[in-house]
Protein backbone atom coordinates (compact mmCIF):
# COMPACT_ATOMS: atom_id res chain seq x y z
CA UNK A 1 0.00 0.00 0.00
CA UNK A 2 1.53 3.45 -0.90
CA UNK A 3 1.78 5.92 1.95
CA UNK A 4 -0.62 8.42 0.33
CA UNK A 5 -2.88 6.40 -1.95
CA UNK A 6 -5.15 9.35 -2.81
CA UNK A 7 -2.36 11.71 -3.90
CA UNK A 8 -0.71 8.88 -5.82
CA UNK A 9 -3.99 8.32 -7.63
CA UNK A 10 -4.42 12.05 -8.41
CA UNK A 11 -0.84 12.22 -9.64
CA UNK A 12 -1.52 9.38 -12.04
CA UNK A 13 -4.69 11.08 -13.28
CA UNK A 14 -2.67 14.25 -13.87
CA UNK A 15 -0.16 12.37 -16.00
CA UNK A 16 -2.87 10.69 -18.05
CA UNK A 17 -4.65 14.02 -18.55
CA UNK A 18 -1.68 15.62 -20.35
CA UNK A 19 -3.11 16.35 -23.79
CA UNK A 20 -1.53 14.52 -26.70
CA UNK A 21 0.38 17.13 -28.68
CA UNK A 22 -0.98 17.57 -32.19
CA UNK A 23 1.75 17.83 -34.84
CA UNK A 24 2.15 21.48 -35.86
CA UNK A 25 3.22 20.96 -39.49
CA UNK A 26 -0.13 22.13 -40.78
CA UNK A 27 -0.80 24.59 -37.94
CA UNK A 28 -0.86 27.57 -40.29
CA UNK A 29 -3.36 25.97 -42.62
CA UNK A 30 -5.41 24.82 -39.64
CA UNK A 31 -5.48 28.38 -38.29
CA UNK A 32 -6.71 29.70 -41.65
CA UNK A 33 -9.42 27.05 -41.61
CA UNK A 34 -10.57 27.86 -38.07
CA UNK A 35 -10.70 31.62 -38.59
CA UNK A 36 -12.06 31.76 -42.14
CA UNK A 37 -14.32 28.69 -42.15
CA UNK A 38 -17.31 30.50 -40.70
CA UNK A 39 -19.83 27.72 -41.48
CA UNK A 40 -17.45 25.18 -39.89
CA UNK A 41 -17.79 22.57 -42.64
CA UNK A 42 -14.04 22.03 -42.83
CA UNK A 43 -13.61 23.66 -46.23
CA UNK A 44 -13.17 27.23 -47.41
CA UNK A 45 -15.71 28.52 -49.88
CA UNK A 46 -15.08 31.60 -51.99
CA UNK A 47 -17.43 33.78 -49.91
CA UNK A 48 -15.57 32.79 -46.73
CA UNK A 49 -12.22 33.50 -48.32
CA UNK A 50 -13.41 36.90 -49.61
CA UNK A 51 -14.75 37.81 -46.16
CA UNK A 52 -11.50 36.78 -44.46
CA UNK A 53 -9.48 38.66 -47.08
CA UNK A 54 -11.61 41.78 -46.51
CA UNK A 55 -11.05 41.55 -42.74
CA UNK A 56 -7.32 41.11 -43.22
CA UNK A 57 -7.24 44.06 -45.67
CA UNK A 58 -8.82 46.29 -43.00
CA UNK A 59 -6.29 45.10 -40.40
CA UNK A 60 -3.34 45.68 -42.71
CA UNK A 61 -4.58 49.10 -43.85
CA UNK A 62 -3.01 50.98 -40.96
CA UNK A 63 -3.74 54.49 -42.31
CA UNK A 64 -7.33 53.52 -43.18
CA UNK A 65 -7.00 55.12 -46.61
CA UNK A 66 -8.55 52.12 -48.34
CA UNK A 67 -5.28 51.16 -49.98
CA UNK A 68 -2.46 48.81 -49.09
CA UNK A 69 1.08 49.88 -49.80
CA UNK A 70 3.79 47.34 -50.58
CA UNK A 71 5.01 47.77 -46.99
CA UNK A 72 1.56 47.03 -45.59
CA UNK A 73 1.23 43.90 -47.74
CA UNK A 74 4.72 42.82 -46.69
CA UNK A 75 5.64 39.28 -47.70
CA UNK A 76 2.06 38.19 -48.29
CA UNK A 77 2.48 38.84 -52.00
CA UNK A 78 5.66 38.50 -54.02
CA UNK A 79 6.82 41.57 -55.96
CA UNK A 80 5.50 40.03 -59.18
CA UNK A 81 2.16 39.08 -57.62
CA UNK A 82 1.77 42.57 -56.13
CA UNK A 83 2.44 44.13 -59.55
CA UNK A 84 -0.03 41.72 -61.18
CA UNK A 85 -2.67 42.55 -58.56
CA UNK A 86 -2.16 46.32 -58.92
CA UNK A 87 -4.49 46.66 -61.90
CA UNK A 88 -4.28 50.48 -62.14
CA UNK A 89 -0.51 50.50 -61.51
CA UNK A 90 -0.65 53.16 -58.80
CA UNK A 91 1.69 51.22 -56.51
CA UNK A 92 -1.04 50.38 -53.99
CA UNK A 93 -3.82 47.80 -53.77
CA UNK A 94 -7.41 48.79 -53.20
CA UNK A 95 -9.68 46.25 -51.55
CA UNK A 96 -11.07 45.27 -54.98
CA UNK A 97 -7.57 44.70 -56.30
CA UNK A 98 -6.66 42.71 -53.20
CA UNK A 99 -9.79 40.55 -53.35
CA UNK A 100 -9.17 39.91 -57.07
CA UNK A 101 -5.68 38.65 -56.18
CA UNK A 102 -7.17 36.50 -53.43
CA UNK A 103 -9.71 35.09 -55.90
CA UNK A 104 -6.97 33.98 -58.27
CA UNK A 105 -5.07 32.47 -55.34
CA UNK A 106 -8.29 30.67 -54.39
CA UNK A 107 -8.68 29.25 -57.92
CA UNK A 108 -5.04 28.15 -57.92
CA UNK A 109 -5.43 26.46 -54.54
CA UNK A 110 -8.66 24.68 -55.51
CA UNK A 111 -6.79 21.92 -57.35
CA UNK A 112 -9.84 19.71 -57.95
CA UNK A 113 -11.97 22.67 -59.03
CA UNK A 114 -14.93 21.91 -56.78
CA UNK A 115 -15.24 25.52 -55.62
CA UNK A 116 -13.96 24.68 -52.15
CA UNK A 117 -10.48 24.63 -50.69
CA UNK A 118 -10.10 21.64 -48.40
CA UNK A 119 -7.47 21.17 -45.69
CA UNK A 120 -5.24 19.14 -47.99
CA UNK A 121 -5.44 21.79 -50.72
CA UNK A 122 -4.47 24.44 -48.16
CA UNK A 123 -1.23 22.55 -47.53
CA UNK A 124 -0.12 22.78 -51.16
CA UNK A 125 2.12 25.61 -52.34
CA UNK A 126 -0.86 27.46 -53.83
CA UNK A 127 -2.80 26.78 -50.65
CA UNK A 128 -0.10 28.32 -48.51
CA UNK A 129 -0.08 31.41 -50.75
CA UNK A 130 -3.83 31.69 -50.25
CA UNK A 131 -3.41 31.24 -46.50
CA UNK A 132 -0.99 34.17 -46.34
CA UNK A 133 -3.57 36.41 -48.02
CA UNK A 134 -6.41 35.62 -45.65
CA UNK A 135 -4.98 35.05 -42.17
CA UNK A 136 -3.45 37.64 -39.90
CA1 LIG B 1 -16.72 26.57 -44.98
CA1 LIG C 1 -3.80 49.96 -57.38
CA1 LIG D 1 -11.26 21.78 -53.74
Reported confidence tier of residue 4, pLDDT bands at 50, 70, 90: low
Mean of pLDDT values over 4-12: 57
The secondary structure of residue 23, as a DSSP letter, is: P
Percent of the chain scored above 70 by pLDDT? 80
Indicate the helix (H) or strand (E) that contains 127: helix 125-134
Three-state SS for 88-111 is CCCCCEEHHHHHHHHHHHHHHHCC
Residue 65, pLDDT > 70, answer yes
Residue 12, pLDDT > 60, answer no
Question: Whose atoms come closest to the Cα of 122: which ligand?
Answer: 3
The Cα 26–Cα 122 span in angstroms is 9
Residue 122, classed as helix, strand or coil, is helix
Residues bordering ligand 2, an ion, CB closer than 5 Å: 86, 88, 90
Per-domain boundaries in the chain: 23-134
Question: Whose atoms come closest to the Cα of 116: which ligand?
Answer: 3
pTM: 0.78
Task: Name the residue among 32, 43, 53 with its Cα closest to residue 118.
Answer: 43
- Helical H runs in 27-90? 27-36, 46-60, 70-73, 79-85
| Assigned CATH topology for domain 23-134 | Recoverin; domain 1 (1.10.238)
Among 10-14, 74-78, 105-109, which stretch is predicted with the lowest mean pLDDT? Answer: 10-14
Angle, nearest 10°, between helix axes 46-60 and 95-109?
Answer: 140
Amino acid sequence: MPKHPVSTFLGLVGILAIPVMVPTTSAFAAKALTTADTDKDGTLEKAEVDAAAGDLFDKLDKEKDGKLSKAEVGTRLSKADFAAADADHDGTLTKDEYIAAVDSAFKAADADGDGKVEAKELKSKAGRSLTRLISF
